[in-house]
Chains A and B, each alone.
Chain A
Amino acid sequence: MSKGNLTRRGVLKTGAVAGAGLALPTYLSAQESGFTNAPTGSTVTLGFNVPQSGPYADEGADELRAYELAVEHLNGEGDGGMLNTFSSKALQGSGILGKKVEYVTGDTQTKSDAARASAKSMIEKDGAVMITGGSSSGVAVAVQALCQEAGVIFMAGLTHSNDTTGKDKRANGFRHFFNSYMSGAALAPVLAANYGTDRKAYHLTADYNWGYTTEEAVKSSTEAMGWETVGTVLTPLTQTDFSSYITPVLQSDADVLVLNHYGGNMVNSLTNAVQFGLRDRVVNGKNFEIVVPLYSRLMAKGAGANVKGIFGSTNWHWSLQDEGSKQFVQSFGTKYGFPPSQAAHTCYVQALLYADAVERAGSFQPCAVVEALEGFEFDGMGNGPTLYRAEDHQCFKDVLVVKGKENPTSEFDLLEIVEVTPVDQVTYAPDHPQFAGGALGSCNNGA
């Protein structure tokens, strides 16, 4: 019996075994380090949990590419990417705390059960010390809760619902991506400037948590600008043909349609809305307009020419001209041959931020990492000066308002940046009503 370091596996907790009265020689690997999955050898394992099947598989594939790139850069291979522009210089390209970064991957299937199963296997079997990724809020919230319980860090991928850092926030979870509130706050002034302040809006909203928070955010911030909301209708997640939701818009006196939809829902509802000639309509003497609060370039591609001229918001876009973005686009584009998506960007940044926090904390211990990330201010990651707020573990940074491009020069050139909304305009108090309820709790080291 060796006390070998060959096992990368951490022990959840030692304890009695039910019902089996084992008289076997049991090596109780008490965690000297005192936290789950403390890396023991010369490597550290991170878990990349992204959708690889189901409707968001392409987004997941892009996230995975970004993670592979991040691992390369952390281990000192490639051109270093954003490590060159990141304001914190703790990372040297020698892994994390001198340990080479390895990773495991899993499929969330965009189902909370499958995502948790996959994350659990990373924690229990592969000894992952951090889980990151995902492309929907349902999955992010579920995996975040799991990581809190197991005592590992969760760095959320693409998740836009207010709840992730609102009522479902957890001390071990961190979100770099922006949220519904920020979308609303960034969009409203641009919409008012372009479409006037006396508009009548009609909302079609996906009938689940993310849809609710987005509708609420856009509604309250546009109403503050003087818009009137004349109707809101919830649409089932499984809906594919939105015609029966769009014809009532023709009947109403609304002159703006807001589509609080994402992914396949967004592609279909937008395609249908344009099909029904909404964009050619003139109501109340004004041109009818459509707004898509959360844009994703990968998804916009599915809607083809229909996105032209339509406003929305996004976390990041590859055409940004700051040094960090240029570096990232350069190294991603050189490796894969096309520019990264916003999902890829947020995942790449999250991986780097985690590594940096560990380096600064000098330990992989979750509570130390949490402390290093809380209130951390940084720059050079593509979104300008950014703050990881301690109260809710949400990043505060500039938000992009974009518009579907009229004359794209390539298949990636679908969106143009209309305005970079400064961070002050999208900042809210931690106890803002849209984020009410829930508690952060305290960090958990597990073990």
Chain B
Amino acid sequence: MDAIILQILNGLDKGSAYALIALGLTLIFGTLGVVNFAHGALFMIGAFCAVTLSRLLSLSHKVEVPGATDFLGNPQMRDVPYIYDIFGESLGASIIDWAVPLSILFAIPVMILIGVIMERGLIKHFYKRPHADQILVTFGLAIVLQEIIKYYYGANPIPTPAPAAFVGSFDFGALIGFEAGQIIYPYWRLVYFAFAALIIGAVFAFLQFTTFGMVVRAGMADRETVGLLGINIDKRFTIMFGLAAAVAGLAGVMYTPINSPNYHMGMDFLVLSFVVVVVGGMGSLPGAVLAGFLLGILESFASMREVIAIIPGINQVIIYLVAIIILLTRPRGLMGRKGVMED
């Protein structure tokens, strides 16, 4: 029983990442009708916002360590962050420690800016072009973004730990009536899940309860009519693109303590998130979120030893297998609308 609850938690956690990326992807699909292969790269850039901020905060000058030598026999140098000089050592250290949460504030404007530049500078010209052209141009863009990051940060993963306060595990089982120590779960993963739920809720509320959201939803349904009504839908779509980029970026920022980011993490998620979006159904935001959590949970269960013992290799293929089954039984995914990206 506890094993199952733990796998559900794992699934929700993985699902959070899938759902957040798929949400942004489907916003762009649904509103703009653009197949954005650079969406994974946006996730990756978000993660590197956290890396960049923690590097900025730890900008250092060198101080000689008396009596010690480095590997070449030269005097050993120690890095002292400038921030220590400004705020003192203890406050400085805790600011660096909190770099990842602080990056949220840093990443939102950066990601919105990147999103808007991308849309205005490039994607805008591809609304009327065939999907094939959109794939080629966004794929090219993804490679370029990835290579730029690789050029500056190298190819190896870069450790970006969570604040010390969030290291360690929370006794989740005690909350729901299990013995102490039966179901423990890392704090940061619970934070990630809560954060994802918050963002998803915010996006839905934004689309549902604001006039802006209403116009965008109308635009998703029938762009031409909305335009005829004299509403500048283009401008709103630009903002939507920025928003989608910010969602992907935040997903990336918060993901860094779970797995050390590297330059190709976006590509690792890209294919999966496309599968999630399509399984959820084209043009459906709730579908994307639902599919994200569903595939996350199924993936977790498939990796259990008991399951692999029955069907060897199932953990390798589960997501794709489920995708095939769902698409064959439900022609438009879980909650897809008729006519979106079907021709």
Report which A residues bind B (CB closer than 8 A).
53-58, 207, 231, 233-236, 238, 240-241, 243-245, 247-248, 250-251, 264, 267-268, 271-272, 275-277, 280, 298-299, 301-306, 318-319, 329-330, 333-334, 339, 409-410, 412
Q: Name the distance in Å between B15's Cβ and chain A's nearest Cβ.
A: 11
Name 5 extra pairs, CB < 8 A, besides A241-B14, A244-B11: A56-B155, A231-B305, A301-B156, A304-B260, A410-B70
Query: Which B residues from 146 to 165 make CB contacts under 8 A with A?
Result: 150, 154-159, 161
Interface stretch, picked from B183-191, B241-249, B278-286, is B183-191
Contacts A55-B155, A267-B157, A410-B76 known; A240 to B264 CB distance under 8 Å?
no
Determine whether the beta carbon of B304 is less than 8 Å from that of A299: no
**Bound Cα distance from A304 to B158, whole angstroms:** 8
**Bound Cα distance from A72 to B60, whole angstroms:** 34
Contacts A247-B3, A248-B305, A333-B71 known; A240 to B159 CB distance under 8 Å?
no
A-B contact pairs, 15 of them (CB 8 A): A54-B264, A231-B305, A233-B308, A243-B13, A243-B300, A244-B10, A248-B304, A267-B259, A272-B259, A276-B184, A276-B185, A276-B186, A280-B168, A298-B156, A302-B156
Determine whether the beta carbon of A251 is less than 8 Å from that of B3: yes
B134 at interface by CB-CB < 8 Å: no
Q: Name the distance in Å between A244's Cβ and chain B's nearest Cβ.
A: 4
B299 at interface by CB-CB < 8 Å: yes
B316 at interface by CB-CB < 8 Å: yes
Q: Which of A244, A305, A318 has the most CB of B within 10 A?
A: A244
Determine whether the beta carbon of B156 is less than 8 Å from that of A268: no
Interface size on B, residues (CB 8 A): 47
Residue of B14, B71, B155, B304 touching A243 (CB-CB under 8 A)? B14
Q: A247 to chain B: which residues have CB within 8 Å?
A: 3, 6-7, 9-10
Determine whether the beta carbon of A267 is less than 8 Å from that of B3: no
B222 at interface by CB-CB < 8 Å: no
**Bound Cα distance from A302 to B158, whole angstroms:** 5
Q: A238 to chain B: which residues have CB within 8 Å?
A: 268
Q: B260 to chain A: which residues have CB within 8 Å?
A: 267-268, 271, 302-304
B315 at interface by CB-CB < 8 Å: yes
Nearest to A276 among chain B residues (CB) is B186
**Bound Cα distance from A409 to B68, whole angstroms:** 9
Q: B76 to chain A: which residues have CB within 8 Å?
A: 409-410
**Bound Cα distance from A23 to B168, whole angstroms:** 78
Determine whether the beta carbon of B189 is less than 8 Å from that of A412: no
**Bound Cα distance from A53 to B143, whole angstroms:** 12
Q: Name the distance in Å between A221's Cβ and chain B's nearest Cβ.
A: 23
Contacts A277-B184, A329-B71, A410-B76 known; A55 to B159 CB distance under 8 Å?
no
Q: B161 to chain A: which residues have CB within 8 Å?
A: 304-305
Query: Which B residues from 1 to 54 make CB contacts under 8 A with A?
Result: 2-3, 6-7, 9-11, 13-14, 17
Contacts A54-B155, A243-B10, A409-B68 known; A275 to B258 CB distance under 8 Å?
yes
Q: Name the distance in Å between A404's Cβ and chain B's nearest Cβ.
A: 13
Residue of B13, B14, B262 touching A264 (CB-CB under 8 A)? B262
Query: Which B residues from 226 to 265 make CB contacts under 8 A with A?
Result: 258-260, 262, 264-265
Q: A264 to chain B: which residues have CB within 8 Å?
A: 157, 262
Q: A58 to chain B: which residues have CB within 8 Å?
A: 154-156
Determine whether the beta carbon of A250 is less than 8 Å from that of B184: yes
Q: A334 to chain B: which residues have CB within 8 Å?
A: 72
Determine whether the beta carbon of A333 is less than 8 Å from that of B72: yes
Q: B71 to chain A: which residues have CB within 8 Å?
A: 318-319, 329, 333, 339, 410, 412
Nearest to A413 among chain B residues (CB) is B71
**Bound Cα distance from A233 to B313, whole angstroms:** 11
Q: A330 to chain B: which residues have CB within 8 Å?
A: 72
**Bound Cα distance from A377 to B161, whole angstroms:** 46
Determine whether the beta carbon of A57 is less than 8 Å from that of B308: no
**Bound Cα distance from A50 to B307, whole angstroms:** 39
Q: A318 to chain B: which residues have CB within 8 Å?
A: 71
B169 at interface by CB-CB < 8 Å: yes
Q: Name the distance in Å between B91's Cβ and chain A's nearest Cβ.
A: 21
Q: Name the distance in Å between A205's Cβ and chain B's nearest Cβ.
A: 12
Determine whether the beta carbon of B316 is less than 8 Å from that of A236: yes
Contacts A240-B268, A277-B184, A410-B76 known; A207 to B68 CB distance under 8 Å?
no
Determine whether the beta carbon of A301 is less than 8 Å from that of B3: no
Determine whether the beta carbon of B158 is less than 8 Å from that of A277: no
Determine whether the beta carbon of A305 is less than 8 Å from that of B315: no
Residue of B11, B157, B168, B305 touching A277 (CB-CB under 8 A)? B168
Contacts A240-B268, A244-B11 known; A304 to B150 CB distance under 8 Å?
no
Nearest to B317 among chain A residues (CB) is A236
Contacts A235-B315, A251-B2, A304-B161 known; A271 to B303 CB distance under 8 Å?
no
Q: Name the distance in Å between B267's Cβ and chain A's nearest Cβ.
A: 10
Contacts A231-B305, A277-B184 known; A244 to B7 CB distance under 8 Å?
yes
Contacts A243-B13, A302-B159 known; A271 to B259 CB distance under 8 Å?
yes
Q: A267 to chain B: which residues have CB within 8 Å?
A: 157, 259-260
Q: A275 to chain B: which residues have CB within 8 Å?
A: 186, 188-189, 258
**Bound Cα distance from A276 to B77, whole angstroms:** 35
Nearest to B69 among chain A residues (CB) is A409
Q: Name the distance in Å between B86's Cβ and chain A's nearest Cβ.
A: 23
* A-B residue pairs, 8 tightest by C-beta: A304-B159, A302-B157, A57-B155, A244-B300, A247-B6, A244-B303, A277-B169, A244-B10
Nearest to B271 among chain A residues (CB) is A238
Q: A243 to chain B: which residues have CB within 8 Å?
A: 10, 13-14, 189, 300
Q: A57 to chain B: which residues have CB within 8 Å?
A: 150, 154-155
**Bound Cα distance from A125 to B275, whole angstroms:** 42
Q: A241 to chain B: which residues have CB within 8 Å?
A: 13-14, 17, 258-259
Contacts A243-B13, A305-B161, A334-B72 known; A248 to B315 CB distance under 8 Å?
no
Residue of A55, A207, A304, A412 touching B262 (CB-CB under 8 A)? A55
Residue of B72, B154, B158, B265 touching A240 (CB-CB under 8 A)? B265
Q: B315 to chain A: which residues have CB within 8 Å?
A: 234-236
**Bound Cα distance from A298 to B260, whole angstroms:** 14
Query: Which B residues from 81 to 109 make CB contacts under 8 A with A?
Result: none
